[in-house]
Amino acid sequence: MHTDTHRPAAAPFPLVDGPAGYFDISEPALDAGFRLPTYMSPGVYQILAWDDALDCARKHCYEETLDGRIWSVLWMAVLAVQKYPHEESAIFSCRIIPQRGSSRQSETERFRIRCDIARSGEPILTITTPWED
């Protein structure tokens, strides 16, 4: 992804180490191939995180954990960045088994990866839903 590191941050939320309320997923993102600090929005977390009881009951059926769902999103983000290497953001899709109900069918969820500038002036990556700023 391309970014101009000389422009001020345009994010609507305060950026210190990362966006307020966002989840730091830099470690698995590094494993996926991203070299910048990477953060996941609360909206993405709500899609990916099942409550503990549901997670425990379902992982025996699906062998799918929160870490696995995050990895799936990161891998699809890698492919989106490879497809659009000179863009500041890219929309991509990932099939996720929803937490609601007892569905065994995955559903397509859309996400956006964007290169932002933290207050420190360092570039960061954020993964959000398409309707989040």
Q: What does DSSP say about strands 38-40 and 123-128: parallel, antiparallel, or unpaired?
A: parallel
- Helices in the chain by DSSP H: which ranges? 26-32, 42-48, 52-62, 66-83
114 CB-near residues (< 8 Å, 6+ apart): 1, 88, 89, 90, 125, 126, 128
pLDDT, position 1 = 41
* pTM of the predicted protein model: 0.76
pLDDT in tens, 46-62: 888 876 555 555 555 55
Q: By the 8 A CB rule, do 94 and 111 touch?
A: yes
